[in-house]
Amino acid sequence: DTVLTQSPALAVSPGERVTISCRASESVSTLMHWYQQKPGQQPKLLIYKASNLASGVPARFSGSGSGTDFTFTIDPVEADDIATYYCHQSWNSPNTFGAGTKLELK
């Protein structure tokens, strides 16, 4: 299975820029997607196919990358963005997810 390795928990202040990385153990082309999950809630799609903003998602969120290295950026961070962020690849079978990066307030 394709292993997705995410950066560890990050502490941020509102107004800052934060970047979360996701590295795949093999190429996933641009079929990398990003989700936000707040405590007690279901995941919510934010970015699909590496860099496309999902419907209704603020432009503060963005994504880039291809092959094995991907980044997800929030700029600027707002207090409501405190959550866990997951990457997900759908190029190789089976679909796999990263372990998540927990964003915390400084």
CA distances from residue 45 to 1, 26, 32, 35, 61 in whole angstroms, order as listed: 22, 23, 11, 4, 11
Residue nearer to other proteins on the CB measure, 19 or 95: 95
Smallest gap from Cβ 8 to other proteins, in A, equals: 14
Residues 63-102 touching other proteins, rule: CB under 8 A, are 86, 88, 90-100
Q: CB neighbours of 104 closer than 8 A, spacing ≥ 6?
A: 9, 10, 11, 12, 82
Stretch that binds other proteins, among 15-23, 42-50, 59-67, 68-76 (CB under 8 A): 42-50
Give the nearest distance from C-beta 13 to other proteins in angstroms. 27
CB–CB of 1/93 below 8 Å?
A: no
Strand partners, 103: 10
C-beta of 27 vs 97, nearer to other proteins: 97
Nearer to other proteins, 8 or 106 (CB): 8
